[in-house]
Amino acid sequence: MTEIVTRLTQVQQQIHNACIQANRAPSSVTLLAVSKTKSAQLIQQAIDAGQRNFGENYVQEAVSKIQQLAHNSDLNWHFIGPIQANKTRLIADNFSWVHSVDREKIAKRLNEQRDPNITPLNVCLQVNISDEQSKSGVSAQELFTLADFINNCKQLRLRGVMAIPEKTDNIEQQLQQFSALQNLYLQLQQRYPEVDTLSMGMSNDMAQAIGCGSTMVRIGTAIFGKRD
C-alpha cells in the first residue's frame, strides 16, 4: 500500500468512528479528498483505492489534472476555492460541484455558462460564519436572498452550505461555529427540502464537524500530506 492509501484508509476509519460516536450512519458523510497542489499521479493512487470525490482550489491547475485523469470513470470534481468572475466558464465546464458561491454575479455567470445538455451544477453557498472581514462568504443575513436567486437558476442545483471556520484550537469556539452553520443549513432545508449538503470539517476538526451534522468533510493534509 502506498502512503496515500494508508492515510486514506485511516481517514475513512476516523470518519466512521466519528459517525458512531455521534450516533449517525457512516454512509451519511461523504469524504471529499482535497487534492490542491498535489499531482495527478498522487491523485490516481487515491482513485485506485476507490476515492471518487475530489476538491480543488485553483482553476487552471485543476483543469489540467481533470484532463489528465479523465480516463477514470465516475469522478466528481468539486471547486472549493475563491471564484474570480473570469474563471466561471472553466468551472461550469469542468466541475460537477461548486462549494464557494458567495455572490449573485458569480451564480448568474455559472448558470449562463453551464451547458444545458448536461446535469446542472451542484451548488453550496459559502457562509462567512465567523464574520471575519478578510474571508469570503455571505453573511447569515444574505444567505437566503442568494439561495432564492440560485433556486431560480435552471442550470444550477442548490445543495447546501459550506464554511471555513476561523482557525482555533478552542473546542468550544469550534463547536459554536459548526452549530451556527448547522442551524443555517437546517433553516435552508426547511425552505428548500432538496438541500442535503452541509460541507464542513477539515483535517483538524472533522470529528467535531461530524458531531454537528456535517454531511461532507473536506480533507487534504490528512490524506495527501503537508502542502508546499
Indicate the burial class of 68 (C-beta count within 10 angstroms; 0-12, 13-18, 19 or more): middle
* 168 belongs to the binding site for ligand PLP (CB under 6 A): no
Instruction: Give 57 or 113: the residue with its C-beta nearer to ligand PLP.
Output: 57
Figure out which of the listed residues 59, 107, 216, 219 binds ligand PLP, where binding follows CB under 6 A: 219
* 80 belongs to the binding site for ligand PLP (CB under 6 A): yes
* 43 belongs to the binding site for ligand PLP (CB under 6 A): no
Figure out which of the listed residues 30, 57, 68, 136 binds ligand PLP, where binding follows CB under 6 A: 57
| Residues 96-155 interacting with ligand PLP (rule: CB under 6 A) | none
**In angstroms, what is the minimal distance from the CB of 154 to ligand PLP?**
27
* 34 belongs to the binding site for ligand PLP (CB under 6 A): yes
Local structure of residue 86 (DSSP, 8 states)? G
d(CA 53, CA 5): 15
Coil, helix or strand at residue 217? strand
Residue 65 grid coordinates? 489534472
Figure out which of the listed residues 124, 163, 164, 216 binds ligand PLP, where binding follows CB under 6 A: 164
Query: What's the Cα-to-Cα distance from 70 to each of 95, 115, 204, 221, rounded to whole Å?
Result: 12, 18, 30, 24
Is residue 110 within 8 A of residue 88, CB to CB? The reply is yes
Question: Which residues bind to ligand PLP, rule: CB under 6 A?
Answer: 34, 36, 57, 80-81, 164, 202-204, 218-222
